[in-house]
Amino acid sequence: MKLVVTGGAGYVGSVCTQALLEQGHEVTVIDNLLTGNRDAVPAGAEFVEGDVAEVAADVLGADPDSPRFDGVLHFAAKSLVGESVVAPEVYWYGNVVTSLALLEAIRLSGTPRLVFSSTAATYGEPKTVPISEDAPTAPTNTYGATKLAIDAAITSYAVAHGLAAVSLRYFNVAGSYAGFGENRVVETHLIPLVLQTALGQRDKISVFGSDYPTDDGTAVRDYVHVKDLADAHLLALHHATAGRHDIYNLGSGEGFSVRQVIETCREVTGLDIPVTDAPRRAGDPAVLIASSQRAIDELGWRPQHTDLRDVVSDAWDYTRCLGDRAHAAR
Ligand SMILES: NC(=O)c1ccc[n+]([C@@H]2O[C@H](COP(=O)([O-])OP(=O)(O)OC[C@H]3O[C@@H](n4cnc5c(N)ncnc54)[C@H](O)[C@@H]3O)[C@@H](O)[C@H]2O)c1
């Protein structure tokens, strides 16, 4: 297929672009390099530097009788939960307005398919775990609210305009694939933060909350390997059906506490990782674990890397490689 990937210079987008190229697809990446890196765009993809809201219409064209592309995978977003609470305007504009512009470009160009990166944050504080797609959606932060609003817009475009759409609600993505991984200036994700601490790039790792009703008192999350996520995107592209918007949760189905993640990072790296306890963060639920049963049943998704050690080992290979590059550049 001929595909546009927005956000293909970022973490998940670069891994998915690489996986799409390996499957023989032609990929054009749109990215404004806000949080992404030019050298993360895989060789073999075309690169258009620009904001999705500004360049999508030009890239996709405006001849619905002869669409230039078979589909769009939309990863581009702002995704810092804390920032979204203090600067909601940046998120409503950057995520929702941008995605509406993309949906219009898709409609006017006659592009038939869309796969969208939604998130577990659309559910907010769950009443039961594991979380299925039928769980109530009640986001506790602006980031989650913007993703839920985009999901609603996609549903109405599917119904009214026949778009074939799939939203994938990822839980915590981690790991690396084929030399592509997490490399952000502002890092907030647990595994890269712990591994940067192991490398001495940070003094210590803060554990936010040790008094949760969990086995060791720290928050429990579901870590899904980024390559498994890429596989789900490939399946979603083929599954997407005109006039429908299907939503799937993607996680490993297993929860690990913050302390378990840190311990696994110690085992994998063989290094000391200093830890400090900090208060809970507002809106951080105790336990978030996905039920991915619908993706397993309907997409035929078979996650291969559900062992946390595998996820951490792949993340460590990438983080160490980045550390070596930074050292060599000094
Ligand atoms: N990483 C996770 O654990 C996780 C979990 C759930 C959902 N998600 C979603 O997955 C997607 C990818 O996440 P990620 O971790 O790879 O993020 P990332 O920040 O690494 O990548 C996002 C990319 O989009 C680009 N971008 C942002 N706004 C843009 C715009 N308006 N125009 C063009 N490019 C733009 C950035 O420069 C960056 O390259 C996001 O939509 C995110 O909300 C991620």
SS3 114: strand
d(CA 232, CA 250): 8
CA 34 / ligand 1 centre spacing (Å) = 9
DSSP letter string, 234-299: HHHHHH--TT-EEEEEE--S--EEHHHHHHHHHHHH-S---EEEEPPPTT--SB--B--HHIIIII
Catalytic residue among 143, 170, 248, 318: 143
Instruction: For the chain, give the longest Cα–Cα distance.
Output: 60
Question: Helices in the chain by DSSP H: which ranges?
Answer: 11-22, 52-60, 81-86, 88-91, 98-109, 142-161, 190-198, 226-239, 258-269, 293-294, 308-329
Contacts of 26 (CB under 8 A, 6+ apart): 1, 2, 3
> What residues flank ligand 1, with Cβ below 6 Å?
6-7, 9-13, 30-36, 51-52, 75-79, 94, 98, 117, 119, 170, 172-173, 184
Is residue 223 annotated as part of the catalytic site, yes or no? no
CA 169 / ligand 1 centre spacing (Å) = 13
Q: What is the pLDDT of residues 111-170, one digit of tens each?
A: 999 999 999 999 999 999 999 999 999 999 999 999 999 999 999 999 999 999 999 999
d(CA 330, CA 325): 9
Q: What is the pLDDT along the chain (330 residues), one digit of tens a residue?
A: 999 999 999 999 999 999 999 999 999 999 999 999 999 999 999 999 999 999 999 999 999 999 999 999 999 999 999 999 999 999 999 999 999 999 999 999 999 999 999 999 999 999 999 999 999 999 999 999 999 999 999 999 999 999 999 999 999 999 999 999 998 889 999 999 999 999 999 999 999 999 999 999 999 999 999 999 999 999 999 999 999 999 999 999 999 999 999 999 999 999 999 999 999 988 889 999 999 999 999 999 999 999 999 999 999 999 998 877 766 666
* Residue 67, preceding peptide bond in cis (omega within 30° of 0): no
For residue 50, give the ligand 1 atom closest to its CA.
33
Q: Hey, what long-range contacts does 197-200 have (CB within 8 A, 24 or more apart)?
A: 197/273, 197/274, 198/265, 198/266, 198/269, 198/271, 198/272, 198/273, 198/316, 199/271, 199/319, 199/320, 199/323
Give 131's DSSP letter.
Answer: B
Q: Return the ∠ at Cα 187 (arms to 16 and 124), rounded to 5°.
A: 80
Phi-psi region of 143 (alpha: psi -120 to 50; beta: other; left: phi over 0): alpha
pLDDT at 330: 64
Report the residue among 41, 59, 117 best suited for mutation to probe ligand 1: largest number of ligand atoms under 8 A from its CB. Answer: 117
Q: What is the pLDDT of residues 230-267, one digit of tens each?
A: 999 999 999 999 999 999 999 999 999 999 999 999 99
Contacts of 9 (CB under 8 A, 6+ apart): 29, 31, 33, 36, 37, 38, 40, 41, 47
pTM above 0.85, yes or no: yes
226-239 and 11-22 helices, crossing angle to 10°: 60
CA 188 / ligand 1 centre spacing (Å) = 13
Report the residue among 4, 5, 6, 11 best suited for mutation to probe ligand 1: largest number of ligand atoms under 8 A from its CB. Answer: 11
SS3 26: strand
Phi-psi region of 253 (alpha: psi -120 to 50; beta: other; left: phi over 0): left
CA 183 / ligand 1 centre spacing (Å) = 12
pLDDT at 328: 67
Contacts of 23 (CB under 8 A, 6+ apart): 234
